[in-house]
Every structure is written in structure tokens, then in C-alpha cells.
Chains A and B, each alone.
Chain A
Amino acid sequence: MARIYLLLAWTWLRASAQYPIPLVMMTLGSFVLNGLDVAAIWIIFEHTGSLGGFGLAEVMFLYGTAGMSFALADMLFGNVDRLSQHIRAGTFDAMLIRPVSAFVQMATDRFGVHRFGRLAQAAVVLGIALPRLDPPWSRLWMVPLMIGCGLVIFVSIFTIGGALQFLLTDAPEVSNAFTYGGSTLTQYPLTVYGGDLVRAVTFIVPLAFVNWQPALYVLGRDDPFGLPYGLRFAAPAAALALALAAALAWRTGIRRYRSTGS
């Protein structure tokens, strides 16, 4: 599976290199577009010293970790949310008859170097934030773990969003609300959002485990919402549960799928 993924991704990369100018502009565009989020954070902190009780470096840490997770998920599997286009064009039927998992084909479709733009940008932000915070080494092990769990959570959300399009073929934008919405939500400390929303993203869609709960541990802070301390280590469990749900959703979707016949 991984070998086929790499092979297909490499093929698409070479194909996209046929048009070098748009390629460079797209990579640049993606880097800058995501840099705008950071510009927004910077402008906000021009006007205030803390947002929701968190300082600039802490917000950048939250942004960087969520950004890394989301960028990796988007780079590797983000294309899954284009399912409805393939269904409408009839190209999904072609994928189903090939001897490779349709999921892998979807994920690698039009794989381009521009997908690295977002990842690079998030890594730069995290690289700036970490030395400023200087968390103790005894807590730093959590950082790669939280990025990994965040990756699994975002991939699962992308997959569920894709599976949703088996039902909502005409309305693919609905899944953007959850994928890109989830990415936007996790860029800021959850204290800026209302209590109900925070409980929803802790216990229903486990976005709080992408970075919020583990970050409270890394930063050594009390939970402003007074949730149990143990939740800070619950990210792997949350990621696993969501991944299972996503796999189930995708399988159900494929099983129910009926071609448009075009």
C-alpha cells in the first residue's frame, strides 16, 4: 500500500513538473496563503498582549503544532475530499476497477509539490515558537506525539468528509466546514470559543486533542475549563477511535456507492 502510494505520488509529481511556472507560483501561493494566518495572529498581537489568556509565543505554538498536523494530513490524504468531483465526472468508476485501493488513488490524484508549501510554513512557525517558550525536556516528548495524533485525527476527518460526499454528491463544500474549519479552530486557544463549543470538540469531534489538551501539558498550564488532568494524555485514544469511525464510514460509503452511469 505504502509502496503504491509513493509510486503514484511520484508519477503525479513528475507530471506536474511539466508546467514549471504555475508549479512555482502555486507552491509560493500556498506558502503565502497560509502565512496570512500568521500575519493575522501578528496583527492581533500588535493590538493586545494576550488572546484568551495566552501570549504570542503560546498561540504560535498552538498554531504550529495544529498546522503541522493539518498540513501533513492535507498533503497525504487531503484530496479525498474531492470525491464528489470524481463521482460526477465518472472517473471514480475507473478507480474502482483498477487493482489498487480507491482510497490511495484518490489521495495521490494530482499530487503536486505545492502541497509542501503549507507544511514548510507551519514548521517555520513552530521553529520560531519553541525556543521562545523553552519548555522543559521532560515535557517535550509530547510534541512529536501530538503532531502524530493530530495527523491521524485530521486524516480521519478528511476521510469522513470524503465519505459524506457519497451522500452529498452535489454539496461537497459541507466537508470543508469540518476539515478546514477544524484547522482554523485549532489555530487559536480554545478559551476564545464558548464553553459549549469546547465541550463539543472535546467529546464529539475530538479536535481538542489535536493540540489543545497536549499543549496544556507541554506548556504546564491549568485547564481553563477544569476538565480532568488525564485528558492531556488521551490524544492517542481519541485519534484511534476517530480513525476506526472514519474507516467504517469510508467502507460503508463504497458499499452503498452507485455509479452515475456517465
Chain B
Amino acid sequence: MRIAWYGFRRHSAYRAAALAGAFTNTVFGILRAYVLIALWEARPGLAGYDVADAVTFCFLSQAFIGPMQLFGGGVQLAERVRTGDVAVDLLRPASLQTWNLADDLGRAGYLFLLRSVPPTLVGAALFGIVTPAEPATWAFFAASFVLGVVVSFGWRYLVALSSFWIVDDRGTQSLSMVMSMFFSGMVLPLNLFPGWLGTAAQSLPWAAMVQVPADVYLGKKDVLEALGFQALWAAALLALGALATRAARRKVVVQGG
């Protein structure tokens, strides 16, 4: 808990950067909203959304970029493996994974305030977005959002761990970014994907980061099923991360002095 608070505080030192990110997310939100509006005006009711739903989806997905770190990064582990600082982390009386998770949740909390709220408000002001009427939906959305961050952490932690085996992690990072952008619903809502591609995309872990929380917000999905899907992926990725951490402990070669 305290580590999460430190993570929050550490990131609050970069307020200008977070606000710049919010600005960029907003600009992209506006551009993508126009494209989606054009599509839904040509095909009203497509994929069970109306125009307002599509615009809401667009701004929500922009709002998720910061907290869920959809462009990769956030976990500084890879950098610390390369510099050798990871030796200190491994000596700490807490598991490497839990430590990083707490730090990441703190970071996500801070970025939620600075990078998620402003784009959504601008979107609401410019285009008007759907707001759930029932308080229960808000509560479910909050739970779904937190689970989404945990799934995203589980994935990014695995990517970062790969640097124990491949020292230069930029290649893995860029492939991970491709997957998270496309299969989370960032590029287009997943329910637009045709046929088997759509089925596959809906069941991969990245769906838990954007598509599922957005659908919970819009009330388009059965809540229990959605939360269960996210929890399952969170548990699976965290377990895999724990196994990989154990393997990495044996593998680690600290470079330099």
C-alpha cells in the first residue's frame, strides 16, 4: 500500500509530462471520433452501438492509454536489468512482482487523474458522451477499470522480464505495443472485427484492457461475465509472471559494478 502511494507521489513529479500526454490523447480522441462518426453515420446501429456510444468508446479508449500504458513501458524493470540496479530490487524483502505491481498501481492512479479525466471531459463538451445513469454501473466500471490495469501490468511485467534473457528489450517492447494497440480495441472497437478475427480478439488478454471496461461502462456486456473474464486473465498473467520471476532469479547475471 505504501509503495503504491510512493508510486503515486513519484509520478506526480512529472505533472507537465502527464498534462502534455492528456493534450495529445485529447487531440487524437477528436480525430478518431470524427472517423467513427463518419462510419456510424454511414451504418447506424453497427455492432450494437449508436453514434453516441461510438464517440464515448473513442474517448474512453484514449483515457485508458495513460493508466494502462497501452504504448508499453511503465514498468522500469527492463531498464534496471540493463543497468544492474535489479540486483538491489532482488535483495528487497518483498517479491519483485508485488513491489512492481504496487508501484504500477500508484502510477496508474495518478495518471487516471491527469490523463484520463481531461480527455473525457473535452470529449463530453465537444461531442457529448454517454453517462451511465445507475450508480451500480459506475461501481462495476471502477472494478473493471482496476482489473484492466492489473491485466495490463501482468502483461507489461512479462514483457519487461524478457530483458533477463534478451538484454535489449526495444524489439519486444515494440511488438508488445502492436499487440496491445490492435487487440485492446484502441485502433477500432473489437466488435467491428469480422469473423474469427473478432472472436479471437475478444478472448485475448488485451481485450480486458480497453474493450471490456468500455463495454461495462456502456452497459453492453453482462457484468459478471466481463469481470470474470478480466479476473481470469489477471490471475493467469500474474501467475505466469511469478513463475517467470523465479526462473529469472536463477538466470540473472548482474552486469558491471
Contacts and interface: CB of A to CB of B under 8 A. Distances in A.
The answer on A and B forming one complex is: yes
Interface of A: 19, 21-26, 28-30, 32-33, 36-37, 39-40, 43-44, 46-52, 114, 168, 170-174, 176-177, 180-181, 184-185, 188, 191-194, 197
Interface in B222-256: none
Given A19-B168, A47-B46, A174-B23, A29 B31 contact: no
Contact of A177 (B24, B177, B181): B24
B172 A39 contact: no
Contact of A44 (B172, B174, B177, B188): B188
Centre residue among B17, B19, B31, B177 by max chain A CB count within 10 A: B31
A138 B198 CA distance: 43
A19 to B, nearest CB: 5
B192 interface: yes
A37 B69 CA distance: 20
Given A21-B166, A43-B192, A173-B23, A192 B35 contact: yes
A174 to B, nearest CB: 5
A33 B24 contact: no
B175 A184 contact: no
B192 A181 contact: no
Interface of B: 14, 16-17, 19-21, 23-24, 27-28, 31-32, 34-35, 37-39, 42-43, 46, 166-172, 174-175, 177-178, 181-182, 187-188, 192-194
B171 A22 contact: yes
Given A43-B193, A47-B192, A25 B21 contact: no
Contact of A29 (B174, B192, B193): B174
8 A-B pairs closest in CB distance: A25-B171, A29-B174, A171-B20, A22-B171, A170-B16, A173-B20, A192-B38, A177-B27
Nearest to A189: B38
B42 A50 contact: yes
Majority DSSP secondary structure for residues of B touching A = helix
Contact of A171 (B19, B42, B172, B187): B19
A67 to B, nearest CB: 16
B171 A24 contact: yes
B187 A29 contact: no
B182 A36 contact: yes
A62 B21 CA distance: 28
A36 B34 contact: no
Contacts of A171: 16-17, 19-20
A46 B177 CA distance: 25
Given A47-B46, A168-B20, A26 B27 contact: no
Given A192-B37, A193-B34, 17 more contacts: A25-B174, A26-B174, A29-B171, A29-B175, A29-B178, A43-B194, A44-B35, A46-B194, A47-B42, A48-B42, A171-B19, A173-B20, A173-B21, A176-B24, A181-B27, A184-B32, A188-B35
Nearest to A24: B171
Contacts of A47: 39, 42-43, 46, 192
Contacts of B14: 170
Contacts of A185: 31
27 contacts: A19-B167, A19-B168, A21-B168, A22-B166, A23-B171, A25-B172, A25-B174, A25-B175, A29-B174, A29-B177, A29-B178, A36-B178, A43-B188, A43-B192, A46-B192, A46-B194, A47-B39, A51-B42, A171-B17, A173-B20, A173-B21, A173-B24, A174-B20, A174-B24, A176-B24, A184-B28, A192-B35
A52 B42 CA distance: 9
A51 B38 contact: yes
Contact of A181 (B16, B28, B168, B181): B28
